[in-house]
Amino acid sequence: MNAVLTAEGLKKSFGAVTAAANISLAFDANTVVSLIGANGAGKTTFLNMVTGYLKPDSGRIMFDRRNIVGLSPRQITKLGVSRSFQVPQLFQTLNVRDNLLIAESIAGAKDPQAATDAALARFALEPYGHQQAGLLPEGIRKLLDVAMALSSRSKLLLLDEPTSSVSADEKFAIMDVVMGAARAAGVTVIFVEHDMDIVARFAGRVVAFYDGGIIADGTPDTVLRADSVRRYVIGDEVPHAAA
């Protein structure tokens, strides 16, 4: 398989805090990968480095066989890396339709209106089309945020806690919609998630972060059962002898 994104020896520290300690990861095309870890483990820092928001102290990030370290978020977005945010980043005073229309127009869709209709349908947002984005319930705002990120030019979709601050009974429904849309668009997905049920259900591969490093990487079955992950990420009591 060919890797869409490859990180090689990424290092980043904020003062005395090491947010990335020599991280090397490769992501294959058309896979769904979940990044897990406690707060401060370095998951969001990793996303921020990939999207150009933060510059790693050293290391390379190859996207489509091109080193993207040093490019701005805008330039990286133009290459096909899209992201959603933990706190949805919307155009609050505009309606849902205009939010998507702006996204599709910037992405250079041939027919932005048609692309917007398709996005509304794909994300089940049609009933909200004319509602102001700032007044929507959180779950819908989350969906709209992802819908705006996933435009016609996306190749890699990064989701930062797509189900945080959404009620437990909505989480699966939202993820079903998001993953269905991502699959239909044929993009690679990397998502940061704290809910292990969501991780187990939707990820094909799980990467566990701890203290700026990677402590486990593999299928959900193996990673979620690993002692180190249970101890440092999930917070289970692990018998000492087993550790």
Partner 1 sequence: MKALAAAAVALALLIALALLAPQWLVFMAMLALAKGVVVLGLVVLMRTGLVSFGQGLYFGIGAYAAALLSHQWHIADAAVMLLAAAAAGGLIAALLGLLLARYRDIFFAMLSLALSMILYGLLVKSAALGSTDGFNLHARTFFGMAFASGMERRVFLIAGSACAVVAALMVHRLLGRHWGRLASAVRDNELRVSYLGASPYRVVYVNYLIAGALAGFGGALAALAVGHVDPETTYWTTSGEFVFIAILGGTQSIIAPFVAAAIFEALRTIASQYAPNVWQMSLGLAMLAIIMFQPAGLWSLAERWRRSA
Site residues (vs partner 1, CB under 8 A): 51, 72-74, 77-78, 82-83, 89-94, 98, 101-103, 105-107, 112, 148-149, 151, 153
Write down the least CB distance from residue 95 to partner 1, Å.
11
CA pair distance 134, 99, nearest whole angstrom:
11
Question: Minimum CB separation from partner 1 for residue 24, in Å?
Answer: 25
Nearest-approach distance from CB 53 to partner 1, in angstroms: 9
Query: In this structure, how many other beta carbons lie within 10 angstroms of the beta carbon of residue 218?
Result: 14
Contacts 24+ apart (CB under 8 A), 224-232: 224/196, 224/199, 224/200, 229/36, 232/37, 232/38, 232/208
158 versus 215: smaller Cβ distance to partner 1: 158
DSSP 200: H
Q: From the CB of 13, what's the least distance to partner 1, in Å?
A: 24
CB of 106 to partner 1, least distance (A): 4
User: Treating both helix axes as pointing N-terminal to C-terminal, what angle do 138-149 and 112-122 enclose, rounded to 10 degrees?
Assistant: 140
Q: How far is it, in rounded angstroms, from Cα 123 to Cα 129? A: 11
For 239, the 3-state DSSP assignment is coil
Element (H, E) at 33: strand 32-36
Phi, psi of 24, deg, nearest 5: -125, 125
Is-contact 81 51, C-beta < 8 A? yes
Shortest Å distance, C-beta 112 to partner 1: 7
Toward partner 1, which CB reaches closer, 74 or 240? 74
Shortest Cβ 150–partner 1 spacing (Å): 11
Q: Give the C-alpha separation, 119 to 108, whole Å.
A: 14
Three-state secondary structure call for residue 118? helix
Whichever of 10 and 107 has its CB closer to partner 1, that residue is: 107
Helix, coil or strand: residue 72: coil
Give the C-alpha distances (Å, rounded to integers) separating 204 from 17, 93, 179, 199, 223. Answer: 30, 37, 12, 9, 11
